[in-house]
Structure 1
Amino acid sequence: MTLTAPRPLRAAPPPPPAPPAPGPVVRPLAPLLCAVAVLLAAAPVSSVVQGWTWLGYAGGAVALVAVVGVVGALVPRVPAVAVALVQVAAVLGLLTALFTDDGVARVLPGPAALGDMGALLAGAGAQIDVGTAPVAATPEILFLVTAALGLLAVAVHLAVVGAGAPAAAGVPLLAAFAVPAALADDLLPWWTLAVAALGFGVLLLAPDGNRRQIPGGAVLVAGAAVVALLLGTATAFVGTAGRFDGGEDGTGRGAIGLSPFTALRGQLDQSEPTPLFEVRGLAQPQYLRALTLSDYQAGIGWQATRPGPGVAPEGPFTQPGVPGDVVDVTVGNVGFRDYWLPVYGAPLGIGGLAPDLFVYDEPSGIAYTARPQQQETWTERAFLPAPTTDLLRAAQGERPAAIYANILGVDPRVTEIAQQVTAGAASDFDRAMALQEYFTGPDTAFTYDLATAPPAGDDALVEFLTVGRVGYCEQFASAMAVMLRSVGVPARVAVGFTAGSPISDYRAVSTADAHAWVEAWFPGIGWTTFDPTPLTDGRTITPPYVEAARAEAAGGGTGAGAVPAAPTGAAPTTAPTTAPGEQPLDAAAPAPVAADPGLPLWPLFVVLGLVLVGLVPAAVRALRGRSRLAAAAAGGTGAAGAAWDEIVATSVDRRVPVPATDTVRAAARRLVREHRLDAAAQDAVRAVVGAVEASWFGDRHPEPGELAGPVRVVRDGIAAGSPVSLRGRLLPRSVLVRPVRSAPEAPVTTSV
């Protein structure tokens, strides 16, 4: 009688460990961490771009860069520069799909698509020139943010993975943080610093895969962020907004960092107006002045200058000796933070302010502080002058400082136009009225349009007066003030807000009410308001002397020098009519709000598709393993073969292949040796090999459940001795390599 017995398995001694390969080890986790760090460092973008639409676009670009980086890490011996080039190409393809309709096969950028991108980039630059934070999420701005963060992700990946220097990636990450910080006109929220620090900490802690460093490193990064926040709060000179220049230019005047016209345009461009003030105690609409511009520089335009040293704003200040009303106004601050404390008319005293914080410069009419503040509530006793036309025409006396008459370098064509318009005017007041009617009268050729780009200097001013004749309050106020000076009337530009909208017992002033107008000087009377902007939306405020002068010119019943009824907020009857087909804006109607395009689907679909493609091999491996284990546990024909195939696949996934020339027993001895299986796992291997040979040669198949335990023990033993990497999980070698089944070995016979 003969018995078939398996050949005993002997574990060979393990080979000596191979020396580590030189150079950094690239792990698939690093590209993912780079993407996380970039998105965390980009948190300040939320302070300079409205809404969160930008995150969908930029997140898609950054995720795409990460997916390409993971694939590059999984493919051996691929140069980091080659991976970076593929990442740049992927970002360019995504930009083509998202922002142009001229791409070849939708995602390949041809000449037409590149031209579209150039136009988007130029449009973004133009919007940045005239916008303030937060800007609307227009296609141009979204293109700029998406391209910038996508390329930033490539740079960070190249530093961390290609150069093996995660600390160096802090330089491009700093750019992602510093640029929005420089553009925001207020201190960034504290959480943006904390999130950006977290992103940099992720790069420092995790790419090398040493998990033991993570707890201590996390504490270190968190502590550094807390210290930075505390220092930033305690140090008064740390900030992100433009501030008064501390230097002097020889005249006692300096400049400020932010153009007032840029701030004005940014407020008017907001898709959703932001509430700023709630004003109580104001019976009739009045202009709310924030600051005045007196310095005109040819080729540059109107510049904000440092106000005088100022005095305590509590007053009392001298009341001008002209007709007018004294009102007590309470201003509730809803959302205004700046250097300026807006005031009405000629302040007689300002109360309710934080002590020693604001000062008032009477010559410039500006109340200000050294740093941007958000004063919650204040009161003002204001004098609202209402001089008669006779007083204004008869005004004679001392003129203000020479700066209010400076027109050095102004194009002679501007002066010629001003002289033509004011020809026949007998007084400064008549000249001012002639110029205002030139812009707002019934026969005017000028039109209000916010879409017009701001003037860049004298040439633009000439073009505005002679060719374009379309603009918004900046152009109109700038042009009239220069023209007044050119005919001998001292003038300056005021920047602030119109009267807002009446609501219950107060007037609500928002960013949609931002405005610029002209103030002309009349001796003995002071600075007097004129508004040359032909508004048709009901925001125009017509001073009583302007109404009286218009009535006199029209032959109305109001006699010369009389003071008409108090001004109303309605648009003047002389305002130009709207173009055919254009509907005038109702003063009571809410400002139009741009529709939010919502999160885009293209980046999500692209990234989702790439992720799914990347997970296909892992999914196939999981399905095959589940099927083999189920077949092995079910017993019967094929159970032994399924159990052996699963054990071999588990080994192949850990880079221990089974050559086709190996028999089952030879392969078993290889598995024991390479994976350093313990005694229990070796016994399980013997059980599986015996079942395989009995099934293949003796037609005796395993019973249900017979192989479930041994297969599980062998798989666990292999996993314990040779842990699988992330690369092995995403791209299992047993799926990518053609499977090989070992040949059975002839059974050993012994005589009993």
Structure 2
Amino acid sequence: MTGHVRISLAAWGATVLGSLVLTPVFSGPFLFISAFLCGAVTGVGVLLQNLRAPRIVVPLVQLLVLIELLSLFFLNSTLKFGLFPWKGTAIEFNTQLVNAMDSINRFSAPLPPDSHLTLFAVSVISATGLLIHVVAVQLRQAAWAGLLLLIMYTVPAATVHGGLPALLFIPPAIGYIVLLSAEGRSRLSRWGRRISGVSHLDAAEPVEASALGQAGRRIGLSVVALAALLPALLPALPEGVVGNGLAGSGPGNGVGASISSTDPMLDMGKNLKRGDNVVALTYKGGPDVGSYLRLTALDSFDGNTWRIAPRPENRKIDGELAPPPGYNGDLSKAPQTKMEINVSRSFRSQFAPVPYPLRTISLKRDWRYDASALDVVSSNGQVVGGKKYNLSAYDLKPSPDQLHNALQGGPPDEYTSRVPKRTPQDITDLTHEVTADAKGNQFDEAVLLQSWFRSSGGFTYSTDNARGSGMPALRDFLLENKTGYCEQFATGMALMARILGIPSRVGIGFLPGTSDKDGQYTVRMHDMHAWPELYFQGYGWVRFEPTPPARVATTPSWTVGTGSDSINPSTAPSTAPITPGGTEDPLIDKPNGDRNLPNDSGVAVLDQGNWFTNGGGQAIGISAGVILLLCIPWLIRSLTRRRRFSRPPGRSGAEGLWAEIRDTSRDLGLDWSEISTPRQSGEWLLTKLPAEAHPQALRLARGIEALRYSGDVNPSTDLRAEAAAVRKALWSQARQVRRWRARLLPPSWRWYLNRGSTEASDLLDEFDLLLARLRSLVLRGRHAN
């Protein structure tokens, strides 16, 4: 077998073994399809190299073959003449990958065996296999292929909750070692005939016995051992390092939640579906019915994602913040509320949860605010978790008549009125149909939209909708399945408002939470929520609530009243609580089984626990684990000694006793010689023992010598008494520090570890022998034919 063929096959094997790390994430036949496609690409590369094709041509042809195979397997309906990939193939491939990334971000592992997810997994594995082949075979740099294998770790690292199983680190390590070995053998073969030696295990079989071969086997063994043990010994990295969450601590147990500035909507969906329902924050003050706490507002929609629009530099917090944008009233006469907010360490966000519109806040030094959204964000990357701050906010409650009579004006900015060009016409037609009774009044149109989502439109609240808020997902939500959670309801109403010419954006934050008898509100992670904010001239941004009563029992007070009674009969005032956790209207038919529904939040646990639940138990557990880890050498040494002295008299029992004297000497810092005979070791013992123990030491050494070398000695000779006396004498002669060291960290235990490594490496020598035997059998069969 030529060198490039051997390396090519090793590269294929390393890719297949490395792809095993994706099994906790994907399901279905992705592994078999990937192995076949990588094998086909490898075969093409081997064939072209055997035909002496130019080096630059090989990867290009391999890439074309890979594109053709992926198209035949997954995109055959887009092929021209049923064979050639075309423009439609590239568009469909991009669409499938976008859908796959969205599913990966929104579904929890393992993912369903959908075609777009299988295509994504196969594409990642096959592309990685092609790159590994190019690096290892074409560029002859197999060592760098290990970095490419790490690419496949990024997907499970970002999606698998709780970390990867430790055993999954072993197959990629083995594949990498095989690849390095194949390249090393190919390099050595260019120097001439391979040097072989005679193994101490089998003198009849040629195995590589050089120092290079032995070192390679031991390095390989160490890599595999580290791959298996290191993930189990090191603490798990927080998911947010590469994925969607950050571990936190604080009130409650489990993993907290995180909100990033790049895609807050996506983070909110993940926290609602996957996160533990731990306490996010508590607050006192504010309105008697509680307060919505907003993190930020998403004002830019490109047809695919709702994001924060580009902003000018945030302002420093110094005294009062800027007035609410668009509000023309006299703020000096506007009612105000004061609040004290205590954020749990479980909540990891660079945005501070605050009511809207905010007036003042005690966060100053490293915090800034945006004048258009009045959200408060960290300026140096720190999170709000663990912060406690005071604030004041305006309690603006425009009446329905005021909003009904609001004048129509220009948009407040260039983003919040923009309707994506690819908005389907049927969504536009539906919007005008739902709001036809408003006769062009923007506030009445907004109330009709809210009522349609909450009651008359036939919508169902459920977090099972994982398609998100892009244009295809919104069309499906508005016109087809009509099932979603707050993300779909908020973004759906915001888009329809823009179609009607009403500037809109989407607020991300928390529902008010649940209160106790002392007036303190507790907000949990599952109280995360999204709602639309619509702009009315003279009153600024006004919150609406399209999410059905199964999630939020009541609507804002300004959406019910004289100005809208005739067009919104279904939104009568309710005495039901405004947030999950209280007693709800018995007429509301509330779905069961969804953890995002009110009945899952339960009664807030206001007791912050005791020292045990607030970290004391964890500290005790860690301390016990450390103590247990430190006691492992002592435990192994004690069990070994007890087993040796419990053996019956005989050669095996005597050798165990002799080994015990050897290990005791090493534990006490004495220089025991491994190459000395029993008689020489006995004479050495006499120099270390008191005179009263000399007879026992001599009888023990002579007994071991006789059992080893004398043919007529009694094999049932019992030397346990002599061994016990010698061990006791050695122990009595040692200093107190040596004794404690011998108990806690006996050096003989480390010697056994080294010996175990050597014996394990010898297993690799046995493996070499097995390969040699198989090779000789194959060659013998060929010669016979």
Question: Residues 337, 181 of structure 1: CA spacing in aligned structure 2 closer, same or farther, 3 A cutoff?
Answer: closer
Q: Is the 8 A contact 2:356 2:393 kept in 1?
A: no
In 1, the alpha carbon distance for the partners of 2:446 and 2:102 equals 33
Higher relative contact order (CA 8 A, sep 6+): 1
Give percent identity, aligned residues only: 20
In 1, the alpha carbon distance for the partners of 2:349 and 2:376 equals 11
1:304 maps to: 308
TM-score (norm 1): 0.52
Select the residue among 476, 482, 494 that pairs with 1:481. Answer: 494
1:284 maps to: 289
> What SS does the corresponding residue of 1:552 show, helix, strand or coil?
coil
Question: Residues 280, 124 of structure 1: CA spacing in aligned structure 2 closer, same or farther, 3 A cutoff?
Answer: farther
> What SS does the corresponding residue of 2:360 show, helix, strand or coil?
strand
1:3-22 superposed matches below 5 A: none
Select the residue among 364, 367, 384 that pairs with 2:376. Answer: 367
1:281-360 superposed matches below 5 A: 281-298=286-303, 300-311=304-315, 312=317, 314-315=319-320, 317-318=322-323, 320-321=327-328, 326-335=335-344, 336-347=347-358, 349-355=359-365, 357-360=366-369
Give the AA of the match of 2:466.
A
1:151 maps to: 168
The answer to whether structure 1 residue 500 and structure 2 residue 513 are counterparts is: yes
Give the AA of the match of 1:709.
E
1:272 maps to: 277
2:415 maps to: 403
2:459 maps to: 446
In 2, the alpha carbon distance for the partners of 1:455 and 1:524 equals 33
The answer to whether structure 1 residue 679 and structure 2 residue 683 are counterparts is: yes
Cα displacement string for residues 29-69 of structure 1 (whole angstroms, at most 9, x for unaligned residues) = xxxxxxxxxxxxxxxxxxxxxxxxxxxxxxxxxxxxxxxxx
Cα displacement string for residues 168-199 of structure 1 (whole angstroms, at most 9, x for unaligned residues) = 9799979975865233656989xxxxxxxxxx
1:517-536 superposed matches below 5 A: 517-536=531-550
2:395 maps to: 383
1:556-705 superposed matches below 5 A: 569=578, 577-578=589-590, 585=598, 589-590=602-603, 626-628=646-648, 631=649, 642=650, 646-647=653-654, 673=677, 676-679=680-683, 683-684=698-699, 688=703
Cα displacement string for residues 594-642 of structure 1 (whole angstroms, at most 9, x for unaligned residues) = xxxxxxxxxxxxxxxxxxxxx99x99997576233xx5xxxxxxxxxx3
In 2, the alpha carbon distance for the partners of 1:626 and 1:434 equals 87
Select the residue among 415, 436, 441 that pairs with 2:428. Answer: 415
2:242 maps to: 182
In 2, the alpha carbon distance for the partners of 1:306 and 1:688 equals 88
> What SS does the corresponding residue of 1:275 show, helix, strand or coil?
strand
Give the AA of the match of 2:106.
V
Give the AA of the match of 2:407.
A
1:430-469 superposed matches below 5 A: 430-441=444-455, 443-455=456-468, 457-469=470-482
Q: How far apart are 1:372 and its partner, in Å?
A: 3.4
In 1, the alpha carbon distance for the partners of 2:400 and 2:705 equals 116
In 2, the alpha carbon distance for the partners of 1:399 and 1:589 equals 42
Greater helix share, structure number: 2
Cα displacement string for residues 551-601 of structure 1 (whole angstroms, at most 9, x for unaligned residues) = 33367999xxxxx99997379989963469999845994389xxxxxxxxx
1:60-99 superposed matches below 5 A: none
1:115 maps to: none
1:542 maps to: 556
> What SS does the corresponding residue of 2:288 show, helix, strand or coil?
coil
Question: Residues 262, 684 of structure 1: CA spacing in aligned structure 2 closer, same or farther, 3 A cutoff?
Answer: same
Give the AA of the match of 1:361.
D
Q: How far apart are 1:278 and its partner, in Å?
A: 0.7
Q: Is the 8 A contact 2:679 2:705 kept in 1?
A: no
Cα displacement string for residues 123-175 of structure 1 (whole angstroms, at most 9, x for unaligned residues) = 9987861389xxxxxx9999775645322356568879544777997999799
Question: Residues 535, 162 of structure 1: CA spacing in aligned structure 2 closer, same or farther, 3 A cutoff?
Answer: farther
Larger Rg: 1
Structure 2: gaps spanning 5 or more residues = 1-8, 34-98, 109-155, 178-215, 250-256, 606-634, 662-673, 686-696, 731-746, 761-785
TM-score (norm 2): 0.50
Structure 1: gaps spanning 5 or more residues = 1-80, 103-108, 112-122, 133-138, 190-239, 244-255, 559-563, 593-614, 632-641, 655-669, 734-752
In 2, the alpha carbon distance for the partners of 1:691 and 1:175 equals 53
Q: How far apart are 1:692 and its partner, in Å?
A: 8.7
Select the residue among 260, 272, 276 that pairs with 2:265. Answer: 260
Give the AA of the match of 2:394.
A
Give the AA of the match of 1:470.
T
In 2, the alpha carbon distance for the partners of 1:581 and 1:129 equals 22
> What SS does the corresponding residue of 1:404 show, helix, strand or coil?
coil
> What SS does the corresponding residue of 2:556 show, helix, strand or coil?
coil
Q: How far apart are 1:532 and its partner, in Å?
A: 0.9
Cα displacement string for residues 225-268 of structure 1 (whole angstroms, at most 9, x for unaligned residues) = xxxxxxxxxxxxxxx9897xxxxxxxxxxxx4343332354146
Question: Residues 421, 556 of structure 1: CA spacing in aligned structure 2 closer, same or farther, 3 A cutoff?
Answer: closer
> What SS does the corresponding residue of 1:385 show, helix, strand or coil?
coil
In 2, the alpha carbon distance for the partners of 1:588 and 1:691 equals 78
In 2, the alpha carbon distance for the partners of 1:432 and 1:493 equals 14
Cα displacement string for residues 494-533 of structure 1 (whole angstroms, at most 9, x for unaligned residues) = 1112222122123222222211111111112211211111
> What SS does the corresponding residue of 2:457 show, helix, strand or coil?
coil
Q: Is the 8 A contact 1:131 1:266 kept in 2?
A: no
Give the AA of the match of 1:290.
L
Q: Is the 8 A contact 1:498 1:540 kept in 2?
A: no
In 1, the alpha carbon distance for the partners of 2:453 and 2:586 equals 11
